[in-house]
Amino acid sequence: MTTDTQKIKVAVCGACGRMGQEVIKAVNNQKDMELVAAIDISNAGKDIGEITENKACGVVIEDSLKDALLKSRADVIVDFTSPDIIFNNAKIALECGVSPVIGTTGLSDGQVKELEKLSKEKNISALIAPNFTTGAVLMMMFAQTAAKYFDNAEIIELHHNKKKDAPSGTAIKTAQMMAKNKSNFASGNVPEIELIKGARGGVSESDIHIHSVRMPGYMASQEVMFGSLGQVLTIRHDSVDRSCYMPGVVMAIRYVTSNNEFVYGLENIL
Ligand SMILES: NC(=O)c1ccc[n+]([C@@H]2O[C@H](COP(=O)([O-])OP(=O)(O)OC[C@H]3O[C@@H](n4cnc5c(N)ncnc54)[C@H](O)[C@@H]3O)[C@@H](O)[C@H]2O)c1
């Protein structure tokens, strides 16, 4: 049983962002967790509670991740910041002995491998999930299963137009999972000529073409299309509200505090 004195100490980086604010509300709603630090390059010096819930909570926003982690003695740092800084943030967390739970997308395969190595060297658990939504993770798992039965597949991912990286981490991860079951998903395609560069999307593992749509109105959606002679199967998931990510984030925080592992993908802890 977790008692008050054993609460999981959680720090949030990117605290003032869309996802960071949701994480803070979710952490505050857990009896076994305590928000101990909020880090963001904007609003430093302000009380984070005034931003998330219009009520001061005593946690002041800091702009130095390292200082905040050392001072707060956090157990876990949840990061939803930006693709250009996430690798460095994750390294700082591991160097400080704090388990990172990473939602920020944009890490390359090589960077994930490097973080896995560092996590093992330091004996600090870490979890990276390109998608924390249980429904989206199931969509990826179903796509991996369907991949065994179809020779052709393409992915269309649709996001709001404030998303910086493309394709989405979810699309990349889906392609990687499907590629475990087949080495070529462009079976029978003729040699192609793109009249407009990029018309056929980006080519990922096993020749899976990924198409990224960015426009207001969408939050995060993905379709995985499978084709074979005479039939098309579409597996689709839509996130309509950011609260959909929180059960997965809370599960990940608990997981890294009770298991000493490096985990890539929420499907591995469901
Ligand atoms: N894994 C998932 O399930 C999932 C879900 C949604 C979004 N995301 C990803 O999470 C990331 C953030 O998304 P968002 O919509 O919250 O973005 P956002 O732009 O609303 O928020 C990002 C926040 O990070 C802060 N920030 C930027 N650089 C920083 C730094 N060096 N140090 C501290 N704070 C810094 C910004 O000031 C901002 O408040 C993106 O990469 C997005 O793709 C992942």
Q: Which domain holds residue 93?
A: 4-128+243-268
> CATH number, domain at 196?
3.30.360.10
Encoded tokens for 168? 């989405």
Asked whether residue 45 carries a pLDDT value surpassing 90, the answer given is yes
Could you tell me the distance, in angstroms and rounded to a whole number, from the CA of residue 222 to the centre of ligand 1? 20
My answer on whether 100 and 144 are in the same domain is: no
Q: Which of 80, 86, 137, 264 to mutate to test the pocket of ligand 1 (most atoms within 8 A of CB)?
A: 80
For residue 10, the CA-to-ligand 1 centroid distance in Å is: 17
159 part of the active site: yes
- Which one-letter amino acid corresponds to residue 208? I
Query: Which one is catalytic: 25, 46, 91, 163?
Result: 163
Residue 203 pLDDT greater than 60, yes or no: yes
Reading the block at residue 214, the tokens are: 């960015």
- Percent of the chain topping pLDDT 70: 98
**Is the pLDDT at 214 greater than 50, yes or no?**
yes
107 and 139 share one domain: no
Domain shared by 182 and 81, yes or no: no
- CATH number for the domain that contains residue 25: 3.40.50.720
Closest C-alpha among 102, 32, 96 to residue 66 = 96
Judge contact between 65 and 38, C-beta under 8 A. no
Q: Are 97 and 119 in contact (CB under 8 A)?
A: no
Radius of gyration in angstroms for the set of CA atoms belonging to the chain, rounded to a whole number: 20
The atom of ligand 1 lying closest to the CA of 16 is: 39
Q: Which percentage of the chain shows pLDDT scores above 90?
A: 94
Q: Which of 59, 127, 61 is nearest to 93 (CA)?
A: 127
217-262 pLDDT, tens per residue?
999 999 999 999 999 999 999 999 989 999 999 999 999 999 999 9
Please tell me whether residues 235 and 250 are part of one structural domain.
no
Q: Residues enclosing ligand 1, CB less than 6 A?
A: 13-14, 16-20, 39-42, 80-83, 85, 103-106, 129-132, 163, 245
One of 55, 122, 159, 160 is an active-site residue; which one?
159
CA dist 39 and 9 (Å) reads 14
**CA–CA distance, 104 with 9 (Å, rounded to integer):** 20
Domain identity same for 124 and 18: yes
Calculate the average pLDDT of the chain: 95
Residue 25 annotated to the active site: no
Gap between the Cα atoms of 19 and 40, Å rounded: 12
Are the CB atoms for 155 and 206 separated by under 8 Å? no
pLDDT at 1: 45
The C-alpha atoms of residue 184 and residue 171 are separated, in whole angstroms, by 17
Q: How far apart are CA 79 and CA 103, in angstroms?
A: 6
User: CA-to-CA distance for 175 and 143, rounded, in angstroms?
Assistant: 9
Residue 5 confidence (pLDDT) above 90: no
Closest atom of ligand 1 to CA, residue 245: 3
pLDDT value at 32 more than 70: yes
pLDDT digits (tens, 9 = 90+) for 108-163: 999 999 999 999 999 999 999 989 999 999 999 999 999 999 999 999 999 999 99
User: Do 40 and 122 sit in the same domain of this protein?
Assistant: yes
Alpha-carbon distance of 204 to 220, in angstroms, equals: 20
242 Cα–ligand 1 center, Å = 13
Q: Rounded CA gap, 186 and 225, in Å?
A: 12
Q: How many CB atoms lie within 10 A of CB 244?
A: 20
State yes or no: pLDDT of 93 exceeds 50: yes
- Residues 118 and 139 reside in one and the same domain: no
85 and 13 housed in the same domain: yes
Q: Residues 1-5: what's their mean pLDDT?
A: 53
Closest ligand 1 atom number to CA of residue 248: 3
DSSP summary character for residue 190: P
According to DSSP H, which parts of 106-237 are helical? 109-122, 134-146, 169-179
Determine how β-strand 262-264 pairs with β-strand 126-128. Answer: parallel
Is the pLDDT reported for residue 196 higher than 50?
A: yes
Pure H helices in 74-187: 86-95, 109-122, 134-146, 169-179
Q: Which atom of ligand 1 is nearest to the CA of 130?
A: 1
Residues 140 and 166 placed together within one structural domain of the fold: yes
Q: Measure 232 CA to ligand 1 centroid, in angstroms.
A: 35
80 Cα: distance to centroid of ligand 1 (angstroms) = 4
Shortest-distance Cα residue to atom 3 of ligand 1: 131
pLDDT bracket for residue 270 (50, 70, 90): confident
Same domain for 235 and 247, yes or no, is no
Q: In this model, does residue 201 exceed pLDDT 90? A: yes
Count of domains forming the chain: 2
Looking at the structure, do residues 145 and 124 belong to the same domain, yes or no? no
- Rounded to whole angstroms, how far apart are CA atoms 267 and 112? 16
In this structure, the number of other CB atoms found within 10 A of the CB of residue 21 comes to 21
